[in-house]
Structure 1
Amino acid sequence: MRNDPGSAPARSGPFQSIQVLRGVAALMVVVYHWHDVEQAFGKGPAILDGLVRFGYAGVDIFFVISGFVMAIIAKGQFASPHHAGRFLLDRGLRVLPPYWIYTSMVVALSILATGVLNADSAGKSILASFVLWPQAGFPLLPVGWTLTYEAYFYLVVAIAIATVREQRFTVFLCGWAALISLAPLLRPDTPWQEVIASPMGWEFIAGALIGIHWQRFPARLASPMFWLGTLGFLLAAMLLNTLGIYTHPPWLRTVVFGSCSALIVLGLVVGEAACPRPAYRVLRRVGDASYSIYLSHLFVIKLVAHLWVRTGMNQTPWTHLVFALLALAASAVVGVVSYRWLERPCLRLGKRWLQGLR
């Protein structure tokens, strides 16, 4: 990547601000799912309503970050089928083992007790869930639907790595975005077609374009881009909430929250490159554990929900607040523990195995 005069300097290594943003996105999803729990089990006035319903947009942030990271990883690997295969293998070893473990827990729990995580296997393919093959509805681990999209994104990037030169990657991404724009004309009606045609692919593409071109943006634009994205995110949620629009087509979600997420990511990346600031240790740890938090939080909030009902402390707003904070904190703690003792060991084993293939 070239470094234009007046733009942010080159940067190697992870962006701490992006890791922190991962953590924020994961906690947004936790709060969004606790909203459903409160509606189902709370007896007093709900305290999590309104803007909280848009916590699902943490996924949109994840997709933009994922595209950004994939573009960074792919740098220097293009026009090589061998590197494309290594890329897919590396991504699979990074994402699948923890997901398989948590999906296996769902299978075990669904055998022992029906209704756990809404994971009754009726109508759901265990094999499709494990291999992230698109199917009607959610996989056995409901949050796994986003990993199906991730797997598709990785496949397309691998095709780019195998077939195009690095200088043409931007053109490839723009062509992919154009195809997504035309895909609805084919009226997709199968799970695979819906994944391919989903406008959420634009979020991944936006992140990848940021990963390629972020150094072209002058540092003075970092704060305006970040705050424009943040305010746009909040104002959009407020407007949709005022209008009572909680269910909307994917393209609207992408245009609203995806574009704001892209501005936030771009602002953070350019700003940190120009003026690095150490992230608070706790925030960084939550960000590092964001994938584990995402995979494990449904188990945690289900457990907290049962505890909440059994105590009978679900009658007043303050008890609603106490258990909402408990669910959030417990999800973060379990995620950090999972990252330390499950995700990281899986990652180390995967790296050793990859090194043995060289």
Structure 2
Amino acid sequence: MERSSNPTLFSIQALRAAAAAMVVIFHQVNAERVYGGGTTILGGWAHLGYAGVDVFFVISGFIMATVTAGRFGSPGGAIDFLAKRAIRIYPLYWLCTAAILAVLFLRPGALDPALSDKSVLGSLLLLPLDGGPLLVVGWTLTYELYFYILTAMALAMASERRVPALVAVWATALAAAQMLPVQGPWLSLIASPLGFEFIAGVVVGLYWRRLSIGASVSLLIASLVWLLIACGLLVDTPDRGQAAGVRALAFGPPSMLIVGALARLELAGKVHVPRLLAAMGNASYALYLTHVFVLSISGRIFAGLGITGSVAGNYAFFVATFAATCVVALLVHHLVERPLMRFGGFAWTKLRDSSLRPLGLRVYDRGQR
């Protein structure tokens, strides 16, 4: 028997954990290059860990299509949506950026000198910037905010039945933009092929419930075959497929199929997710933001103690730092991120009820559709 019509999809949380872990491994490759003493154990497919970001973008589109169902045609709902996404994204990101600013102020020589030339305000606001924000992983959040703004515009002005048409128009316009010369961070953001990944997530978010169990299994198998072929083709190329168009084609479609198939199979009770994976999925944002700090600190410690520089030492470095990133993420999620979100949610609810409702702007409380 299938579960409720509005289930908590732990399989998607587990997929978020896997995507974050892929990004950690991708950055461990660079950490080994810097702190590994000339010895290399990470190579090959570890370089493809950047694809975790592509999985995140598809999941983001899927979640947006799911949480906005039944809430279109409401300017107040659009404002409420953006406020809640800002509460989700900004506070922890600001703390991590503040840590970088503190190091730049206290020990500027400890970081890349190029960071001193980046816009602090642009970084804090996650505006499109040449070279990205101060926090290296923050560039993906700029994309997320762009996606959220487009979602909010649809919530404010469109009816739900027009969502598929809006998605089709966006996809068509984005495809046309690939034929045009694009310069500057703002236009590069708008015209980026990575937008197709968010579109793919929205599409699967609209139609995943229509999949049969057999079709879901077939799609899951097909996605894994696609990934194996894509990884095999890209792993030995100079940039390993990191160009936006290449990665969108290589990892967007299989991520879409995996998300839809796992969601449908879990709804039917065919997928059961271990609690630890679900917990890491909940902490995936904290893992994504904090792992670069853990890798840097761990690398300095291991190199300073002379542990790295051999195969055994580098394996110890890899395992210990990966475990440390997960532990730190869980601690930050429970001790910092969740309290910040609770406080932000409480403050926004008070502000919303005292400002939007008196203006007659319709909003949706938790649990309402």
Structures share fold, TM-score greater than 0.5: yes
Equivalence for 1:299:
293
Equivalence for 1:163:
157
Q: Which whole-Å deviations, capped at 9, do the CAs of 1:100-147 have from their partners, x for residues lacking one?
A: 111111111111223556475332000000001101002011100000
Give 1:14 shift: 1.9
Say whether 1:178 aligns with 2:172.
Answer: yes
Q: Which moved more, 1:142-151 or 1:43-52?
A: 43-52
Say whether 1:260 aligns with 2:254.
Answer: yes
Whether contact under 8 Å (1:32, 1:56) holds in the other structure is: yes
Amino acid at match of 1:33: H
Q: Distance in 1 between matches of 2:290 and 2:199?
A: 27
Whether contact under 8 Å (2:97, 2:124) holds in the other structure is: yes
Q: Which moved more, 1:117-126 or 1:145-154?
A: 117-126
Equivalence for 2:80:
86
Give 1:85 shift: 1.1
Q: Distance in 2 between matches of 1:265 and 1:194?
A: 27
Distance 1:78 1:117, change over 3 A: farther
Amino acid at match of 2:299: A
Equivalence for 2:268:
274
Equivalence for 1:349:
343
Distance 1:276 1:118, change over 3 A: farther
Say whether 1:326 aligns with 2:320.
Answer: yes
Say whether 1:39 aligns with 2:39.
Answer: no
Give 1:231 shift: 2.9
Whether contact under 8 Å (2:23, 2:50) holds in the other structure is: yes
Q: Distance in 1 between matches of 2:189 and 2:336?
A: 29
Work out which of the residue numbers 53, 56, 72 in structure 1 matches 2:47: 53
TM-score, normalising length: structure 1? 0.94
Whether contact under 8 Å (1:81, 1:163) holds in the other structure is: yes
Q: Distance in 1 between matches of 2:337 and 2:168?
A: 34
Q: Distance in 2 between matches of 1:119 and 1:61?
A: 32
Work out which of the residue numbers 325, 329, 333 in structure 2 matches 1:335: 329
Say whether 1:287 aligns with 2:281.
Answer: yes
Give 1:297 shift: 0.4
Q: Distance in 2 between matches of 1:107 and 1:119?
A: 12
Give 1:186 shift: 3.2
Equivalence for 1:103:
97
Give 1:57 shift: 0.3
Amino acid at match of 2:83: L
Q: Distance in 2 between matches of 1:218 and 1:115?
A: 57
Q: Distance in 2 between matches of 1:277 and 1:186?
A: 44
Q: Distance in 2 between matches of 1:51 and 1:87?
A: 38
Q: Which moved more, 1:83-92 or 1:215-224?
A: 215-224
Whether contact under 8 Å (1:203, 1:254) holds in the other structure is: yes
Describe the SS at the equivalent of 1:48: coil
Whether contact under 8 Å (1:110, 1:120) holds in the other structure is: no
Work out which of the residue numbers 188, 195, 218 in structure 1 matches 2:189: 195
TM-score, normalising length: structure 2? 0.91
Q: Which whole-Å deviations, capped at 9, do the CAs of 1:197-222 have from their partners, x for residues lacking one?
A: 00111111111111111111112122
Cα RMSD over matched residues?
Answer: 1.7
Distance 1:135 1:170, change over 3 A: same
Give 1:59 shift: 0.2
Whether contact under 8 Å (2:287, 2:328) holds in the other structure is: yes
Amino acid at match of 1:288: N
Whether contact under 8 Å (2:266, 2:272) holds in the other structure is: no
Say whether 1:308 aligns with 2:306.
Answer: no
Whether contact under 8 Å (1:77, 1:161) holds in the other structure is: yes
Amino acid at match of 1:20: A
Distance 1:105 1:178, change over 3 A: same
Give 1:235 shift: 2.5
Q: Which whole-Å deviations, capped at 9, do the CAs of 1:3-27 have from their partners, x for residues lacking one?
A: xxxx977631320000011001001
Q: Which whole-Å deviations, capped at 9, do the CAs of 1:167-187 have from their partners, x for residues lacking one?
A: 110110111111111113331
Give 1:80 shift: 1.4
Deviation >4 Å, runs of 4+: 7-10
Say whether 1:221 aligns with 2:215.
Answer: yes
Q: Which moved more, 1:203-212 or 1:270-279?
A: 270-279
Give 1:245 shift: 4.7
Describe the SS at the equivalent of 2:179: helix
Q: Distance in 2 between matches of 1:307 and 1:227?
A: 42
Distance 1:184 1:69, change over 3 A: same
Identical-pair percentage: 37
Describe the SS at the equivalent of 1:185: coil
Whether contact under 8 Å (1:222, 1:267) holds in the other structure is: yes
Q: Which runs of 5+ in 1 are unaligned?
A: 1-6
Describe the SS at the equivalent of 1:100: helix
Whether contact under 8 Å (2:234, 2:241) holds in the other structure is: no
Give 1:244 shift: 4.6
The total of aligned residue pairs comes to 352
